[in-house]
Amino acid sequence: MIRIPFRSALLAVAVVHGAPVDAHAPGSAEASSEAPGAKFDAEAVGRGTPADYDFLVGSWTFVFEQRGEDGTRRPARTGTWEVRKAHGGLVIEDVWRLADSDDPTLTYRVFDPTREHWTLRGVRPKTGTWDPGVSWSDGDERFVVQTFSERLLARIRYYDIRPDGFRWRADGSLDGGKTWTLDLWTMEVTRAGGTVR
């Protein structure tokens, strides 16, 4: 298990606000009985399609969990996620916001037709620091490798994708991917209103 210095890398990435939620309640990402971790080779960037993130367009609510400094789960938090296509469908823009937070994370995804994968940049307006990444698909799953605060490498997997929801989990590494903390962050995501837009 990696000891994560939350005061530097992780607090810059996810400052959590809002009321706690029972971590083992239905709808909680931790309630899953499957094996932990995103678990994929972060160096083996695959290929994707321009339609990879069509499923994500719309309004969502989520339950977000992260590991604390001692490796234990912090109380779950809730939030909203608004996603839209822009610039003729060539860009996916989203705003990910924890409840009661005034510093959302904005992400811009652009499909690179030459490399056949997505490049992305996340930013929190109050810090102004851009977090670069790359994304691709494999069947019904989406994979992201992203660097946060210039030191935390995350491998993120979107899975169990359905019209009304999906699940998301991220492993973190502070040594360039040599060792990983599994399920550093997890999310259970539900479409707002439960219907497809």
CATH number at residue 67: 2.40.128
* Count of Cβ atoms closer than 10 Å to residue 84 Cβ: 14
Mark out the alpha helices in the chain (DSSP H runs).
11-13
pLDDT of residue 196: 45
pLDDT of residue 69: 66
Q: Quick check: is 130 in a domain?
A: yes
Q: Quick check: is 171 in a domain?
A: yes
Q: Quick check: is 52 in a domain?
A: no
Q: Quick check: is 43 in a domain?
A: no
pLDDT of residue 22: 31
> Structure tokens of 105?
């994370």
- Measured CA to CA, the distance from residue 29 to residue 164 in angstroms comes to 15
The contacts of residue 117 (CB under 8 Å, 6+ apart) are 45, 46, 47, 48, 111, 134, 135, 136
pLDDT of residue 89: 86
Cα torsion angle, 23, 24, 27, 29, sign = positive
Q: Quick check: is 46 in a domain?
A: no
Q: Quick check: is 45 in a domain?
A: no
pLDDT of residue 34: 66
Q: Quick check: is 84 in a domain?
A: yes
Q: Quick check: is 150 in a domain?
A: yes
**Gap between the terminal Cα atoms of the chain:** 41
The contacts of residue 156 (CB under 8 Å, 6+ apart) are 38, 143, 144, 145, 146, 168, 169, 170
| Domain span holding position 107 | 6-31+57-194
Per-residue model confidence as pLDDT tens for the chain (197 residues): 333 443 334 333 433 323 233 333 333 344 344 678 999 999 999 999 999 999 999 999 999 999 876 778 889 999 999 999 999 888 999 999 999 899 999 999 999 999 999 999 999 999 899 999 999 999 999 999 999 999 999 999 999 999 999 999 999 999 999 999 999 999 999 999 754 44
Q: By C-alpha distance, which of 40, 170, 44 is closest to 117?
A: 44
Count of domains observed in the chain: 1
> Structure tokens of 157?
């997997």
Specify the 3-state DSSP secondary structure of 116: coil
